[in-house]
Amino acid sequence: MREAGRVVANVLAAVRDASGVGVKPIDLDRLARRMLHEAGAVSSFEHYHPRWAPIPYPAVICLSVNEAIVHGIPDARPLRGGDILSIDFGAAVDGLHADAAITVPIGDVDEAGMRLIRTTEAALQAGIAAARPGNRLGDIGAAVGTIGRGAGFGLAENLGGHGVGDAMHEDPHVANEGTPGRGLKLQAGLVIAIEPMFIEGGHDEHDLRADGWTVATSDGSRAAHQEHTLAVTKDGPMVLTLP
């Protein structure tokens, strides 16, 4: 999984660096696809077909712009200055998966947008710090949710992190809100993805777009998404999706 995590980290960094005003998301998907092939890894996203989706996911990377929270399908509409772009990518090596996401500014982004991005990053780090043996899933959710709510942001309803391993999505569900000391007890060997998704307008509601995949805020406000895959070890959390 650490090898898969390195692939994920390297692709996210390359896509981040290639993003900019006038760049087409579909070209960023081509970049991710090429790097995936060169690394000898397999996409966790392409052809993924949960029961609720009308079609299998058609790309290797999710690119969600502004009010799109997650699962945006790369298209040919160029990115514009002031956009915020969430980049979500998963890869498997020898059948083991890793999954991570970042949100980046495109061109000059206003201070409110940058605050949204920074706060989501801070919540991810707080959630990771809480992923220690003996703690519980509620401790992770409380760490993430306290930061998001404290900043006045909404938390995308029913969306959160998940277990990772032989499949990209496994139990347990890792909620972005929780009660300290409640929920599954964390033990060394557990591997999970923690992924805060904050909504600028302060509401939790979201809608599914006509493409059957893109989840967007109901109020049209912007969203940010950050994610790492980590292992709970006896010495604390080990982030697997770092370069």
* 112, pLDDT greater than 90: yes
CATH architecture of 2-239: Alpha-Beta Complex (3.90)
Question: Alpha-carbon torsion 155, 156, 158, 160, what sign?
Answer: negative
Taking a C-beta distance cutoff of 8 angstroms, is the pair 228, 164 a contact? no
pLDDT range class, residue 108, cuts 50, 70, 90:
very high
**Strand locations in the chain, DSSP E?**
42-43, 61-65, 68-70, 84-93, 96-105, 154-155, 161-163, 170-174, 191-194, 197-199, 206-208, 215-217, 223-225, 228-233, 236-239
Taking a C-beta distance cutoff of 8 angstroms, is the pair 198, 123 a contact? yes
Q: Edge to edge, what strands does the sheet with 170-174 contain?
A: 170-174, 161-163, 191-194, 228-233, 236-239
Neighbour tally for 237: CB within 10 Å: 22
pLDDT range class, residue 88, cuts 50, 70, 90:
very high
* Average pLDDT of every residue of the chain: 97
Beta-carbon contacts of residue 81 (< 8 Å; ≥ 6 apart)? 21, 106, 107, 108
Angstrom distance (rounded) from CA 203 to CA 155: 7
Beta-carbon contacts of residue 34 (< 8 Å; ≥ 6 apart)? none
24-76 pLDDT tens trace: 999 999 999 999 999 999 999 999 999 989 999 999 999 999 999 999 999 99
Instruction: Tell me the domain boundaries of the chain.
Output: 2-239
* 5, pLDDT greater than 90: yes
Q: pTM of the prediction?
A: 0.97
* 120, pLDDT greater than 90: yes
* 222, pLDDT greater than 90: yes
pLDDT range class, residue 153, cuts 50, 70, 90:
very high
192-210 mean pLDDT: 97
Q: What is the pLDDT of residue 232?
A: 98
pLDDT range class, residue 243, cuts 50, 70, 90:
confident
